[in-house]
Amino acid sequence: MTRHLVQLAELSIDQLQIDPDNPRDLKHETDDDPARIRLVRSIEKLGIENPLIVSAMKVEGRYIIIDGHRRYLCAKKLEMKTVPCRIYPKLQPAELALRRFEVQNNRVEWGPLERAEAFAQIKRAEGFDKDKDLAGYLGLSPTMVSSSLKLLNQHTRYKDLFEAHELKETYAIEFSRIRDFLRDVREFDIPKIIEILLLKAKHKVIKNGKSFRMIGKIFLKANRYEDQLHEFLQDPDMTLEELKEQTGETWLATMLERVQQALAKRYSSGKDLTAEEEAHRAELQDFLTSIDPRRSASAHPKHEHVMKESMETLLAASA
C-alpha cells in the first residue's frame, strides 16, 4: 500500500461528503436511535475526540468520508461549522475500500471489565452517588450500568482467588455473573462451594468460563436439585456434563419446559390446538411415556428428529 502524507486539520462541514459505498447502512438510523443520542451527547460535552478520516476528491476543496459518518451526522445535527479531520490525498477506489476496511477491522471493543472500570472512574470523578445518575450522564440504561459496576465489584473481590488458582480472566468474569445464585448445599457453605468450583476449573473438570452459566442456572433450582448438587460438590471428578444429565438440564428438559409454558399460554388465551398441532402434542406425549425424560435426548437418536419437530411446531403455534 502506498504511503501518503497525511494532514490533520479542521475542515468545514460543508466540504465533506458521505461515502455512498460505505458498507454500514445509516439510512435506518434515526435521530432518536439510542446510539445516535449517546454520540450527540458525547460530542456536545467533549467535542469530536477522534478526527474523521477523509480523502480528497477530484473537485478541489471536497472530501469523501472514509471513517466517521456517524460523527459527521451528529456534528450536522449540532450545527457545528467545522470538524477535525485526518486528510488523505485522493485515493484510488481499491485503496479507499481497503483503508475503510482496515479502520473498522482493527478496532477492538472494550471487554466487560474494561468498560466497568471506565464507568467506576467516571462515577468517582463526577461524584455521582447513584448508578442511575451515572447512567443518565452517559446516556445509557441504568440496568446496564448497575450490572456492569456489580460485575466489577464481584471481580475485584475474587480476583486474587482466581489468580491463585491460575485461572484466566474469562473464568472470573463468568463466575462474577453467577455468584449471587450460589447457596449453601447441606454441609457445603458458599465459601467452600466457591473453593470446589475453582478447583474443578483449575483441573479442567469445569472446562471453560461459560460453564459457570449452567452451574448458576442449576443453583437457581437448588431446592429441586439438592441431591445432585451435593454429589457434584462431593465428587471432585464429577463433570458438569454429568450434573446436567442428573438434573435433566439438557436441551430436552429446556425445550420441554418451554413447550409447557407455551401451551399454558395458548390454553389461557382460550385458543385450542389445530388438528396438526394436536397430532404433534400426542406424538410428543407418546415419546415421553416411552423414555425417562431426565435422560439426554442423545440417548435416543432415532426419536430425536420427532421430538424436535413436534416441540418446534408447538412453540411456533403458541408464540
pLDDT mean values, one per 10 residues, the chain (319 residues)? 80 93 71 85 91 93 93 94 95 87 78 86 92 89 88 80 82 84 94 93 91 91 90 95 79 62 71 73 65 44 49 56
**Which domains, ranges and CATH numbers included, belong to the chain?**
7-105 (3.90.1530.10), 165-247 (no CATH), 251-317 (no CATH)
CA 281 to chain centre: 34
Angle at 223 between CA 222 and CA 229, to 5 degrees: 40
Strands 52-56, 82-88: pairing kind = parallel
pTM beyond 0.75: no
Predicted local distance difference test score (pLDDT) of residue 260: 67
Burial of residue 67 (number of CB atoms within 10 Å: 0-12, 13-18, 19+): buried
Predicted local distance difference test score (pLDDT) of residue 139: 82
The β-bridge partners of 64 are 17, 55
Predicted local distance difference test score (pLDDT) of residue 231: 95
Cell representation of residue 297:
435426548
Predicted local distance difference test score (pLDDT) of residue 311: 56
Predicted local distance difference test score (pLDDT) of residue 160: 79
Give the end-to-end CA distance of the chain in Å, rounded to a whole number.
53
Predicted local distance difference test score (pLDDT) of residue 192: 94
